Amino acid sequence: MKIAFIGLGNMGGPMAQNLSKAGHEVAGFDLSEEACKRLESEGLRIAGSAEDAVRGAEAVISMLPGSQHVEALYLGNGQSGLLARLPAGTLVIDSSTISAASSRKVAQAAAKLKVPCIDAPVSGGTGGAVAGTLTFMVGGSADDLERARPLLEKMGQNIFHAGDVGAGQTAKICNNMLLGILMIGTSEALALGVANGLDPKVLSEIMRRSSGGNWALEKYNPMPGVMEAAPASKSYAGGFGTDLMLKDLGLAQENAAAVRAATPLGGLARNLYATHSLAGNGALDFSSVIRLVQKPHC
């Protein structure tokens, strides 16, 4: 299948590579020259623009930072966006984490052009993107999901149909609100143990196999040196940026306000990541939030 892949960052880069390795004809594009050069050196075909990438494509996949980027790409900023350039029937899969309202806005505009569009945000981190083991949470019609499934299967292991357009995004922010909270809780517990002289590796293993066990302890330990492959052991480079987590927690709070849900820990977590970001850590992986609760010498 001919696929245009827009957004070749920490997640989009390896996802596009997995499609290409599976035999699809992928044309990638990113506004960042550095990202394009890196992917090109790894063998991915790079287009000169998003418009070039979608020429002849049967499917378009986007993996962009936030709602404003996705709306600007597809709907345009005062000018016509990418949707207007797609022939009817081209499948659009947006895997970015954005507001459900933005997903619905783009899908409604697409429907007018007879372009099927689904939201398919992911979970599983950059490790999952590289390994092709992501979880997709899909919002859209069952038929459109079935068309997308062969592509999603090349990038992920679990594919869930959450409901109509926008439902994938709602599922995603519920998950990420929980992730943001549990990363802070895990950090707090580890920092407490280390302040008491415990070895973080030993404490991590004890908690991982006890009732405090969770995804951070399994795959994404926030303490440097505990897990070689985790961003914490790479000076918090790559991974899932603090500012992206802050965006997701903001989306969760907006949503909670709209439906009058009580999310006290989600609200606190948003403020803690905001404080961490304001201190200059926005580009670091979100697990660096442990620095808020760590003693300086630890």
Q: Where are the beta strands (DSSP E) in 48-198?
A: 59-62, 91-94, 117-119, 122-123, 134-139, 156-163
Task: State which H helix or E strand residue 117 sits in.
Answer: strand 117-119
Q: Which of 18, 30, 161, 246 binds ligand NAD (CB under 6 A)?
A: 30
172 a catalytic residue: yes
Residues 241 and 276 sit within 8 Å (Cβ to Cβ): no
Please, what is the minimum distance in Å from the beta carbon of residue 226 to ligand NAD? 18
Please, what is the minimum distance in Å from the beta carbon of residue 37 to ligand NAD? 12
Q: Which of 50, 173, 251, 269 binds ligand NAD (CB under 6 A)?
A: 50
Local structure of residue 83 (DSSP, 8 states): G
Q: Please return the burial class of 93, using the count of CB atoms within 10 Å of its CB with bins 0-12, 13-18 and 19+.
A: buried
53 touches ligand NAD by CB under 6 A: no
Residue at 271: amino acid letter:
N
Residue with smaller CB distance to ligand NAD, 140 or 239: 239
275 touches ligand NAD by CB under 6 A: no
Q: Which of 12, 166, 193, 266 binds ligand NAD (CB under 6 A)?
A: 12
168 touches ligand NAD by CB under 6 A: no
Stretch that binds ligand NAD, among 40-48, 119-127, 158-166, 194-202 (CB under 6 A): 119-127
Tokens describing residue 4: 């245009």
81 touches ligand NAD by CB under 6 A: no
Binding mask 243-262 for ligand NAD (x = CB under 6 A): -x---x--------------
290 touches ligand NAD by CB under 6 A: no
Q: Are strands 134-139 and 91-94 parallel, antiparallel or unpaired?
A: unpaired
C-alpha 190/C-alpha 289 separation (Å) is 12
179 touches ligand NAD by CB under 6 A: no
97 touches ligand NAD by CB under 6 A: yes
Q: Where are the beta strands (DSSP E) in 153-218?
A: 156-163
Which sign, positive or negative, has the C-alpha torsion 281, 286, 288, 290? Answer: positive
Tokens describing residue 75: 């709907």
Binding mask 225-244 for ligand NAD (x = CB under 6 A): --------------xx---x
Catalytic pick among 37, 114, 154, 172: 172
Please name every residue paired with 122 in a beta bridge, in sequence order, or none if there are none.
136
Stretch that binds ligand NAD, among 23-31, 147-155, 157-165, 223-231 (CB under 6 A): 23-31
Please name every residue paired with 218 in a beta bridge, in sequence order, or none if there are none.
none
C-alpha 291/C-alpha 298 separation (Å) is 9
| Residues catalogued as catalytic | 172
What is the binding site for ligand NAD (CB under 6 A)? 6-12, 29-32, 35, 50, 63-65, 69, 72-73, 96-97, 122-123, 125-126, 239-240, 244, 248
